[in-house]
Structure 1
Amino acid sequence: MDLSGDLSVGERIRVLRESRGMSRPVLAQLCGRGSDWLKKIETGERELRSHTLLLQLAAALQVHDLSVITGADSGPAAAVPLGRLNHPTMPDIWAAVMQRTLAPPAAGPADPAILQGRVDQTWNLWHTSSHNRTEVGAVLPALIRDAEAAVRSLDGVQRRAALVALSDVYRLTGQATAYVAPAELAWVVADRALSAAQDADQPAAIAAAAWNMGNILRETAYPEEALRVVTEAADLIRPHLDADSTPDDWRGIYGALQLHAAVTAAREGRDGDAWRYWGKGDQVAKSLPAGYVHASTVFGRANVDFHAVSVATDLKKSAKALGLADDIDPDIMPSVERQARLWVEVARGHLQRGDRTAALHVMQKAHEIGAETVAYTPSARHVAADLWRSAPRAMRKEASALAEAVGVATA
């Protein structure tokens, strides 16, 4: 790359983009802008003044220091938060989490019930939107700041309620930034969710935060620690489940912890443990009312059945996984994200059996249902890349189109 000092900001962006083999439409889309906007930036017809857009461009181009784009060679380096993948909402979420203010809130005390209602609505958006990362990511920064302010301005019972809402916000942040958050942010978010729940002294909130922490541990190659966290959380909440007055959601999060443990064990090849944990989750689902769904983890009858497919696939029992999938009606799952992930698991099962035509058809369906779930889930991207490399000749055009849509490099 030639990034000599006399290049303009736009010229630097063009050189960086071309050196990474990115088309103008792809880079513009990552910043939530159109191709014509980026063309004007690159040609100097339009000046780039927004710091947020600079961060988004830098993250998309995998540039660690803004000076590479701006050309400024004096002063401290302006670090850019980078995750394994790129998403344009990441800089604003990073700022909300990592630049937490210690000053007292300017406004009066918040109503924790209203705050919890906003959080619940955002969880619902996460599960119902095919572009959930973009839509949820757009509202998270304000929600994080408002939840933090509520905790600082309240006391007593109301503060405990606000802490539960804050824990939920950070759990949702962990979900929405999975694979796109820098490692340090992922750990901060998971720890804050658990700390807020513990400060609230609410067992179900602690269990839900542990479920979230388990996700981080499992995805960062700490499976034993992930199992320890979720089983300890299950042990914490288990004594509360025998009382008739125990809310259904306490049983729901207990079941979600069992499914989490099942998948973790399956990924480690522990067949017996995986199905034992899944069986516990199955029993919980049977004890809950028909049609019950946990708001954030979507634990319920459908999710238990979906997890059976995941467990079988992770254990490389493709025939069993596909047989289980044949008996599932995906439409009964209220979460678009989980529907898309089911089809990804089915595609993995077909690939394990060498049926690439079926895998491509199923992946196209997964992408149609949840475009961002597929684009930002590593297992789905691996399937798309595999299909692009080795699809049957008659299917190569479709495989290339899928890979391009998912954002897998095809050049």
Structure 2
Amino acid sequence: MDGPTENLCVDAERLRRAREARHLSRPQLASLLGVSPEWVKKAETGERVIDRLPMLYRLCRVLGLTDVAELTGGQTSMPVATGGRLAHPGVEKLRAAVHAPLFVQEEPEDVGVLAGRVAQTWAIWHGVREQRTAVAAVLPDLIRTGHATMRAAEGPEKRRAAVVLSEVYALAQQYAAHIVDPPLYWTLVDRARMLAEQADDVLALAGAAWVTGNGLRAAGDTEGARRVAADAAETLERSTEDGSDRLRGLYGSLCLHVALSAAQERREGDAWHWWDKADRAAARLGTAYMHPWTAFGEGNVAVHGVSIAADLGAHGTALQRMTEVDPETIPSVERRSRLYLDAARGERARHQVAAALTYLRLAVATSPEAVRYTPAGRALAEDLARTAPAPLRRAAHDVASLVGVPAA
């Protein structure tokens, strides 16, 4: 059984009143949040559950509220975090590469060599603690060289170059998540999709669906994300018997994508149905397999099991699943950090502040940037720094400092 948790769900009537007090229409609020008017309507009629800390804080900022309790009606005060999006020093160089003049002469590269560099950069993303800083050092050149290579290539090599460049933009989207303005973020997503379409390659298209789904879910459109990923997964499913390990890995990645989006919509049956599909796909691929950029494999399926339970509000189940996962079986450092962060979220929801702080410190120790540049990580760090009891306050402030959020 899951233990009692503080009600962190938005109260529909409170949300409506707060919006009207700001003299905002539903479309206006939707625009400020980066979601659809239908999303706002469902939230105000109680059809959509909003209980994730990043969105709760975001709503409060947009509506001019100072405490999450003003939206939830909860008894526990949760002052609104003052820190917004945290920029990374590499963003401007990335922006310059993305918007570089079209007729600037860049040296093309052999497509195979470029593909090797991209694969190596994905390995760096999953293998180091400061993944954004490491990848930011090479992404701009990969983008510029990728475009030069594609322009110089002909025939089948041009399509192959498009596949590789689409993977570059998929990596750029991972780097840019939560740290850049929406126009730049969606430019990266759209280019990954456009290049996959130019390549006319089913795996590239499925990868672009994974990228597009990430964007939609980050914008709060979990329904759209679920549809895009499910469509791609069902397309690949027909080829899993005879397909390559890479195809099966991407299929499993999309299944996890659907499962997580369904969990965030509180569609429990759908969430575990798609997670089961991913679990079977991972078992077939074996314990040593990891998709080179989605990190799909048995360990990642286990991490998503924790995340899904947490997003469904089943925090006891999430923590039980956490105890069954050996972090060393998760090759991706970023995903290992996410496991600890989800455990911290679960403990915080159960008012176990000491345990939440312990798991958050593990998440930061595993990958500081995976927490520092993630809204859920920053929100939790600031929340614990503000609400920790006196004996834990110094430790909570130390963690908040590492994450880069205000401690008071």
Deviation at 1:398, TM superposition (A): 0.6
Q: The residue matched to 1:228 in structure 2 has which SS? A: helix
| Gap regions ≥5 residues in structure 2 | 1-83
Is 1:84 the counterpart of 2:81? The answer is no
Partner of 1:392: 389
CA distance in 2, matches of 1:346, 1:106: 46
CA contact (8 A) 1:105 1:153 kept: no
1:358 counterpart residue number:
355
* Alpha-carbon contact 2:106-2:144 (below 8 Å) kept: no
User: 1:312 corresponds to which residue?
Assistant: 309
Counterparts of 1:370-409 in structure 2 under 5 Å? Answer: 370-409=367-406
Cα 1:84/1:98, change in 2 over 3 Å? farther
Matched, 1:140 2:134: no
Runs of 4 or more above 4 Å deviation: none
Q: Is this contact kept in 1: 2:381–2:399, CA < 8 A?
A: yes
**How many Å separate the matches in 1 of 2:170 and 2:315?**
32
TM-score when normalising by structure 1: 0.77
CA distance in 2, matches of 1:147, 1:396: 49
2:266 matched to 1:265? no
- Tell me the distance in 2 between the aligned counterparts of 1:267 and 1:259: 12
- How far apart, CA to CA, are the structure 1 residues paired with 2:153 and 2:239? 28
- Aligned 8 A contact 2:229 2:257 in 1: yes
Amino acid at match of 1:224: E
Aligned residue number for residue 102 of structure 1:
102
Cross-structure match for 1:324: 321
Q: Provide the rounded CA distance (Å) in 2 between the counterparts of 1:184 and 1:290.
A: 39
C-alpha separation in 1, matches of 2:92 and 2:195: 23
Superposed CA offset, 1:310-344 (max 9, x none): 00011111111111110110011111100101000
Q: Return the index of the structure with the highest Cα Rg.
A: 1
Q: Which amino acid aligns with 1:90?
A: V
Whole-angstrom CA distance in 2 between matches of 1:122 and 1:259: 23
In structure 1, the residue matched to 2:171 is 172
User: Residue 253 of structure 1 is aligned with which of 230, 250, 253?
Assistant: 250
Instruction: Report the CA distance shift for 1:106/1:212 in structure 2 as closer, same or farther (over 3 A).
Output: closer
Q: SS at 1:91's partner residue?
A: helix
Bigger RCO (CA 8 Å, 6+ sep)? 2
Residues 1:93 and 2:90 aligned together: no
**Count of matched residue positions in the alignment of Structure 1 and Structure 2:** 325
Distance in 2 of aligned mates of 1:136 and 1:290: 27
What's the CA shift string for 1:4-55, capped at 9, x where partnerless? xxxxxxxxxxxxxxxxxxxxxxxxxxxxxxxxxxxxxxxxxxxxxxxxxxxx
For 1:202, the equivalent position in structure 2 comes to 201
Do the aligned partners of 2:122 and 2:293 also contact (CA within 8 Å) in 1?
yes
The alpha carbon displacement at 1:382 in A equals: 1.4
Q: Which residue of structure 2 aligns with residue 193 of structure 1? A: 192
Cα distance in 1, alignment partners of residues 394 and 238 from structure 2: 56
Q: Which amino acid aligns with 1:390?
A: T
Question: Residues 9-158 of structure 1: matches in 2 within 5 Å?
Answer: 84-99=85-100, 101-103=101-103, 105-107=105-107, 109-158=108-157
Say if 2:286 and 2:298, in contact at 8 Å, map to a contact too. no
Match of 1:274 in 2: 271
Q: Offset of 1:104 from its aligned partner? A: 7.0
1:47-92 CA-to-partner distances (Å, cap 9, x unmatched) read xxxxxxxxxxxxxxxxxxxxxxxxxxxxxxxxxxxx9321111110
Distance in 1, matches of 2:131 and 2:287, equals 27
Residue 27 of structure 2 aligns with which residue? none
Distance 1:302 1:409 in 2: 33
The answer (yes or no) to whether the contact 2:223–2:265 under 8 Å persists in 1 is no
- Aligned CA RMSD, in angstroms, stands at 1.3
Matched AA of 2:239: H
Give 1:114 deviation, angstroms: 0.4
User: Which position in structure 1 is the counterpart of 2:80?
Assistant: none
Deviation (angstroms), 1:393: 1.3
Percent identity among equivalent residues? 43
The answer to whether the 8 Å contact 1:294/1:300 transfers is yes
The 8 Å contact of residues 96 and 145 in structure 1, kept in 2 or not, is answered as yes
Report the TM-score when normalising by structure 2. Answer: 0.78
Q: Which residue does 1:212 correspond to in 2? A: 211
